[in-house]
Amino acid sequence: MVKWASSAFGAFLVIVSTGWAGTLPVTITFDSSLSKAERKLAVVDLPGDLPRDWSGYEALVLELRASSPEGMNLKVYTAEGPRRIRFYPYPNVWIRAAIPLEMLAGPPKTGHDMASVGNRSRTGYYLRLWGPFGPLKTVEAVAFEMENPVQSPTLEIRSLSLAKTSPGDAVLDGLPVVDDLGQFAGDSGPGRPATLEELGIAWRQEEKGLAPGAFGYCPYGGYEATRAEPTGFFRVERIEGRWWFVDPDGHLFLSAGCDVMRPQMVTRTAGREYLFARMPPEELRPSSPWDRDPGASFSTWNLFRRFGEDWAERWVDMTIRRMEAWGLNTIANWSDPRLWETGRKPYAIPLASWIADVQYLGLPDV
């Protein structure tokens, strides 16, 4: 069935498939010619005699394989209205997703900062808890909906059930998921190194081409050709009806930065070791206070492979050189303090780094 729907953003086309025969496995194809495509699986048609009242169960358990990492809405339709989470499965591998039903029934109440409240990283997939939420006592259907699908991706579902005790999430086949360079193992494409030797070629090419760009910046990163009152400090001023940053030398400054410039980006490994072809050496495991969960950083390992024992110092210099080549004039939030300490670029840091007072979800009580 094809129908038009409307929202505050205008009209869009929705397709709801009615040709499902009520058996699993089933393959859903999201038509890339549509703005929004949905496949609805009625509970009464699903195998296993699923009840309509899900309130006594812990998890919705799916075994599935997606052809794309594109996010989709996983919706549970009830007589009172839909419940929804955003669902991002690992592509090209069979996974078991044991989705806690509490994430559909009510808004999230835990998280160490504002971003983590609505986001959940799980083995095999990623969730965003956007709602709407509500009781699961009159369930009518489970649906998968994708907005603006690219190249008609598919979703294969071979099992759908309820569990009173969650069996846990898992990648069931298609291992390893991560190769020894830290890349997703189930993909390939132009510019993607398949070996350490190919990665070395890319590094050498970067060294040859990395040079400062002609952006018209002064040493602080402001526009050299502009003039305002120099005060020796960064400040703001309204000039010709527009607010500007002004750098210490009196040049108008447009902050162009990158968050989280750090030599490590940690992926959680505890209980997920089987996903990786190889693990970085123990001595290269990060010990940053930002990394709350134990894990591995393939970016750190690759820096060691590139630069050797003095990789940390050389990473700092290379990062500043990249900023100058790419037109970035600000070391933005959550970046490594060693970059600030060079004194070569303006920087921003979290308030929580220097206000050690009562905090709510990472926001200091100013």
Please give the pLDDT value at position 291. 55
What would the pLDDT profile of 314-361 be if each residue is shown by its tens digit?
A: 999 999 999 999 999 999 998 999 998 999 999 998 776 666 655 666
Rounded distance between C-alpha atoms, residue 242 and residue 57, angstroms: 56
2 pLDDT above the threshold of 60: no
260 pLDDT above the threshold of 80: yes
Rounded distance between C-alpha atoms, residue 145 and residue 37, angstroms: 6
Rounded to an integer, what is the distance from CA 268 to the centroid of its chain? 14
178 pLDDT above the threshold of 60: yes
Rounded distance between C-alpha atoms, residue 218 and residue 227, angstroms: 11
The residue type at 246: V
HSE value, Cβ hemisphere, 13 Å, CA-based, for 92: 11
Q: How confident is the model at residue 20 (pLDDT cuts 50, 70, 90)?
A: low
Q: How confident is the model at residue 14 (pLDDT cuts 50, 70, 90)?
A: very low
Mean pLDDT of all residues in 143-158:
96
Q: Return residue ranges of the chain for CATH 2.60.120.
A: 2-173
13 pLDDT above the threshold of 60: no
Query: Would you say domain 2-173 falls under CATH 2.60.120?
Result: yes
Please give the pLDDT value at position 282. 84
What would the pLDDT profile of 55-71 be if each residue is shown by its tens digit?
A: 999 999 999 999 999 99
User: Of 354, 319, 315, 349, nearest to 332 (Cα)?
Assistant: 349
82-86, 165-169, 279-283: least confidently modelled range: 279-283
What would the pLDDT profile of 92-128 be if each residue is shown by its tens digit?
A: 999 999 999 999 999 998 887 778 899 999 999 999 9
Rounded distance between C-alpha atoms, residue 153 and residue 259, angstroms: 31
pTM: 0.79
User: Of 65, 39, 69, 75, nearest to 151 (Cα)?
Assistant: 69
262 pLDDT above the threshold of 50: yes
254 pLDDT above the threshold of 90: yes
- Peptide bond between residue 100 and the one before it cis (omega within 30 degrees of 0): no
Please give the pLDDT value at position 364. 62
Please give the pLDDT value at position 357. 59
Query: What mean pLDDT is reported for the chain?
Result: 89
Q: How confident is the model at residue 295 (pLDDT cuts 50, 70, 90)?
A: confident
Report the share of the chain in percent with pLDDT over 90: 75
Structure tokens at 192: 């993607």
Strand pairing class (267-268; 242-246):
unpaired
What would the pLDDT profile of 197-238 be if each residue is shown by its tens digit?
A: 999 999 999 999 999 999 999 999 999 999 999 999 999 999
Which region, left, alpha or beta, applies to residue 98 given φ > 0 means left and ψ of -120 to 50 means alpha?
A: beta
Rounded distance between C-alpha atoms, residue 43 and residue 51, angstroms: 8
